[in-house]
């Protein structure tokens, strides 16, 4: 195969990432927001987020990449190809973490992509298309709901103004926080076409480790729905108010916490549902709780089952309010429908895993990822590597150097394989 100038395209058979360099990057970035228990608290658009963004910019520029930022804070590190008139092939994920997050969730996808670019640069390999690394803003959704906020704007799922107006629990808007750390870029979010997008991630589940497989070839992502609920009763003195005359909002919330769990158990084996955030007001030991705010996270690969679960939750919520003489509201604030990834991207990952000698299995992602939204605007695929005991969103989250490097190698070869496919089509 030759380029438009008649030069032979390097087949890339000898490309090899540096496991040590990738691991050093993972450990170095873990210092930005490091916790006492060995994890990372690097919330979206915090000062530690600014620091890791500055670090990423410097490392990308050091290998000759051009770094740009859009008006949602998404970052793009670009290495030119032989044909810069066509959209880039992108790799990426996110650098923000949960409040008690680990060193690998999201970060591995960005740093492995950076290592892939380093490897291409050092080898002198010229891809047909430009290749980019993307750091998406607010994937976790732990500070600003919903999750994948900036990739959602990129894909046209969310309106830019609405996304920028979302506030954290302290009343600070996304737009205000973005300006505060100096990462509101000049480019309009979404005005950035892609030829393809590949995302490497830890599995965040136990299957790969249990089955002793190196690589998960992700064929799709299950549907996700998020809800916010408020139950309102009446403040009263705990010593002077008879039990039969109370309007205890916490009792209603406790009923719903147990009920949400029970509803998911009615739809085995894939349904999961969780109440993960609860706020009680006035939160005093001698005042009957007057108001409770809580969230519900529901996931399943089929829309029909998601609908059935939602209907059951709504019905039980009304019953609980009636039983405890409460008022309130239950609102679905976000939905990410089930996603099937692009067949050509999946085929590229499959071929790359085989070429790297990695054992692999097809799987559906139980967690949401930026790739779910990007699939709406560009062919996309994902690669999983094992994590110890399947634990993630936890300070003990861990993948070995070997597991991370195998994933990075498959990521690089997937991009090279897709690039060859693209060159043959144009």
Q: Which band of pLDDT confidence, cut at 50, 70 and 90, is reported for residue 411? A: very high
Q: Output the pLDDT for position 366.
A: 87
Percent of the chain with pLDDT over 70: 97
Is the pLDDT at 222 greater than 70? The verdict is: yes
Q: Is 105 annotated as a binding residue?
A: yes
CATH label, 224-336, candidates 3.40.1190.20, 3.30.43.10, 3.30.70.360, 2.40.50.100: 3.30.70.360
Q: Is 187 annotated as a binding residue?
A: no
Q: Output the pLDDT for position 425.
A: 82
Is the pLDDT at 13 greater than 80? The verdict is: no
3-state secondary structure string across the chain = CECCCCCECCCCCCCCCCHHHHHHHHHHHCCCCECCCCCECCCCCCHHHHHHHHHHHHHHHHCCCEEEEECCCCEEEEECCCCCCCCCEEEEEECCCCCCECCCCCHHHHHHHHHHHHHHHHHCCCCCCCEEEEEECCCCCCCCCCCCHHHHHHCCCCCHHHHHHCECCCCCEHHHHHHHCCCCCCECCCCCCCCEEEEEEECCCCHHHHHCCCEEEEEEECEEEEEEEEEECCCCECCCCCHHHCCCHHHHHHHHHHHHHHHHHCCCCCCEEECCCEEEECCCCCECCCEEEEEEEEEECCHHHHHHHHHHHHHHHHHHHHHCCCEEEEEEEEEECCEECCHHHHHHHHHHHHHCCCCEEEEEECCCCHHHHHCCCCCEEEEEECCHHHCCCCCCCCCCHHHHHHHHHHHHHHHHHHHHHHHHHC
Is the pLDDT at 168 greater than 50? The verdict is: yes
Give residue-wise pLDDT tens across range 117-157: 999 999 999 999 999 999 999 999 999 999 999 999 999 99
Is the pLDDT at 36 greater than 80? The verdict is: yes
Domain locations in the chain as residue ranges: 19-222+338-425, 224-336
Is the pLDDT at 12 greater than 80? The verdict is: no
Q: Which band of pLDDT confidence, cut at 50, 70 and 90, is reported for residue 14? A: confident
Q: Is 20 annotated as a binding residue?
A: no
Q: Is 140 annotated as a binding residue?
A: yes
* pTM for this predicted structure: 0.84
Q: Which band of pLDDT confidence, cut at 50, 70 and 90, is reported for residue 319? A: very high
Is the pLDDT at 4 greater than 80? The verdict is: no
Give residue-wise pLDDT tens across range 40-76: 999 999 999 999 999 999 999 999 999 999 999 999 9
CATH label, 19-222+338-425, candidates 3.30.420.40, 3.40.630.10, 3.40.50.720, 1.10.220.150: 3.40.630.10
Percent of the chain with pLDDT over 90: 94
Q: Which band of pLDDT confidence, cut at 50, 70 and 90, is reported for residue 8? A: very low
Q: Output the pLDDT for position 292.
A: 98
Average pLDDT (98-119) is 98
Average pLDDT (412-419) is 98
Average pLDDT (367-393) is 96
Q: Is 24 annotated as a binding residue?
A: no
């Amino acid at each position: 195969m030759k380029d438009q100038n008649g030069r032979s395209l390097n087949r890339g058979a000898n490309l090899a990432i540096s496991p040590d360099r990738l691991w050093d990057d993972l450990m170095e970035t873990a210092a930005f927001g490091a916790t006492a228990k060995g994890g990372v608290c690097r919330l979206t658009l915090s000062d530690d987020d600014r620091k890791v963004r500055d670090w990423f910019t410097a490392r990308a520029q050091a290998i000759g990449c051009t770094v740009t930022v859009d008006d949602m804070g998404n970052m793009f590190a670009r290495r030119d190809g032989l044909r810069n008139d066509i959209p880039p092939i992108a790799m990426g994920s996110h650098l923000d973490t949960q409040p008690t997050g680990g060193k690998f969730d999201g970060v591995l996808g960005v740093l492995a992509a950076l290592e892939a670019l380093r490897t291409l640069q050092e080898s002198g390999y010229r891809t047909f298309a430009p290749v980019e690394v993307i750091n998406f803003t607010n994937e976790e959704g732990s500070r600003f709901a919903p999750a994948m906020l900036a990739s959602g704007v990129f894909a046209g799922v969310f309106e830019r103004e609405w996304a920028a107006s979302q506030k954290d629990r302290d009343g600070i808007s996304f737009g205000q926080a973005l300006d505060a750390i100096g990462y509101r870029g000049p480019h309009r979010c979404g005005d950035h076409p892609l030829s393809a997008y590949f995302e490497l991630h830890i599995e965040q589940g136990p299957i790969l480790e249990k089955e002793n497989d190196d690589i998960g070839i992700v064929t799709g992502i299950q549907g996700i729905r998020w809800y916010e609920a408020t139950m309102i009763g009446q403040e009263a003195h705990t010593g002077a108010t008879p039990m039969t005359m109370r309007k205890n909002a916490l009792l209603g919330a406790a009923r719903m916490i147990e009920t949400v769990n029970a509803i998911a158990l009615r739809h085995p084996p894939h349904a999961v549902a969780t109440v993960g955030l609860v706020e009680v007001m006035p939160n005093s030991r001698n005042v009957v709780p007057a108001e409770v705010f809580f969230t519900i996270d529901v996931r399943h690969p089929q829309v029909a089952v998601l609908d059935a679960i939602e209907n059951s939750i709504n019905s039980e919520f009304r019953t609980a309010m009636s039983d405890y003489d409460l008022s309130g509201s239950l609102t679905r604030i976000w939905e990410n429908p089930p996603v099937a990834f692009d067949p050509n991207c999946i085929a590229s990952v499959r071929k790359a895993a085989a070429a790297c000698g990695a054992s692999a299995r097809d799987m559906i992602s139980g967690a949401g990822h930026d790739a779910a939204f990007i699939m709406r605007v560009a062919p996309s695929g994902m690669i999983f590597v094992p994590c110890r005991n399947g634990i993630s969103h936890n300070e003990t989250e861990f993948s070995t150097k070997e597991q991370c490097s195998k994933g990075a190698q498959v990521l690089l070869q997937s991009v090279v394989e897709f690039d060859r496919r693209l060159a043959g089509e144009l």
